[in-house]
Amino acid sequence: LAKTTQPISMDSYEGQEVNITCSHNNIATNDYITWYQQFPSQGPRFIIQGYKTKVTNEVASLFIPADRKSSTLSLPRVSLSDTAVYYCLLQGNNLFFGTGTRLTVIP
Amino acid sequence: DGGITQSPKYLFRKEGQNVTLSCEQNLNHDAMYWYRQDPGQGLRLIYYSQIVNDFQKGDIAEGYSVSREKKESFPLTVTSAQKNPTAFYLCASTIRGMNTEAFFGQGTRLTVV
């Protein structure tokens, strides 16, 4: 089973750009890289997904190098409401979550 | 509105009793999943089903059972064999495939009393 590795926690000041990197050395050819956000006592919510290169939507960007062994979620100008746990998944035939990165945004 | 619904939101169970958690979706999704989350931890996969009448064990299936008789429904039974069932349980669904967004229910918090 493919595994992902993320930092356990990160702190950032309000208004800064935050980059969370995920390592996935054993990514399979048919895996897509997906990021989810979870607030306490709620189900995770989809943020962004990509296969290679760069993907951008209204809330985040996802950078994936050519070898696909890592990926970086970029959150521009974070606010206090972005304090949450962020999960990186390799979404193929299943959805296996890792431990996630707990992001705390400081005023 | 389409979505995925878990019920109840809070559930209390006496030790030694079985309890069933409901998960229903009207998104016409093929695949459904059950996860367990303990305080401060990530999500651990219990069972998943890619198609009706078929399901597979995840990482922590012991003490749990599921059924998938209908596409819309994927109930999870927490049996008395589960030694530490107190946790937050999440259900999810996706269109069967590799690049589709997963939708989650709001979760059921189970407490053994």
Res. A91 pLDDT band, cuts 50 70 90: confident
Res. B63 pLDDT band, cuts 50 70 90: very high
**A82 φ, ψ to 5°?**
-85, -5
Residue B92, CB-side half-sphere exposure with 13 Å CA sphere: 29
Question: Which amino acid belongs to residue A96?
Answer: F
Kindly state the average pLDDT of the residues A33-43: 94
Res. A46 pLDDT band, cuts 50 70 90: very high
* CA–CA gap between residue B47 and residue B36 (Å, rounded): 10
Chain B positions in Cβ-Cβ contact with residue A48 (cut-off 8 Å): none
pLDDT recorded at residue A99: 84
* Residue pointed to by tokens 């039974």: B77
Kindly state the average pLDDT of the residues B107-113: 94
Edge-to-edge strand order for the sheet containing A9-13?
A: A9-13, A101-106, A84-91, A32-38, A45-50
Whose CA is closest to A22, among A51, A75, A64? A64
**B32 φ, ψ to 5°?**
-135, 150
The overall average pLDDT reported for chain B is: 93
Chain B positions in Cβ-Cβ contact with residue A43 (cut-off 8 Å): 90, 92, 104-107
pLDDT in tens, A50-76: 999 899 999 999 999 999 999 999 999
Res. B68 pLDDT band, cuts 50 70 90: very high
Question: Given an 8 Å threshold on Cβ–Cβ distance, is B42 in contact with A32?
Answer: no
Q: Closest partner residue to B48 among A34, A94, A98, by Cβ?
A: A94
pLDDT at B99 > cutoff 80:
no
Chain B positions in Cβ-Cβ contact with residue A34 (cut-off 8 Å): 101-102
Please report the number of interchain residue pairs, chain A to chain B, with beta-carbon separation below 8 angstroms: 60
pLDDT at A92 > cutoff 90:
no
Instruction: Please report, rounded to a whole number, the percentage of residues in chain A having pLDDT higher than 70.
Output: 97
Following DSSP, what letter does each residue of chain A receive, concatenated? ----B--SEEEEETT--EEEEEE-TT--TTPEEEEEEE-TTS--EEEEEESSEEEE-SS-EEEE-TT-SEEEEEESS--GGG-EEEEEEEESSS------EEEEEE-
* Residue pointed to by tokens 């407490």: B111
CA A82 to chain centre: 13
> Of B30-39, B55-64, B89-98, which range is least confident?
B89-98
pLDDT at B1 > cutoff 80:
no
* CA–CA gap between residue B113 and residue B110 (Å, rounded): 10
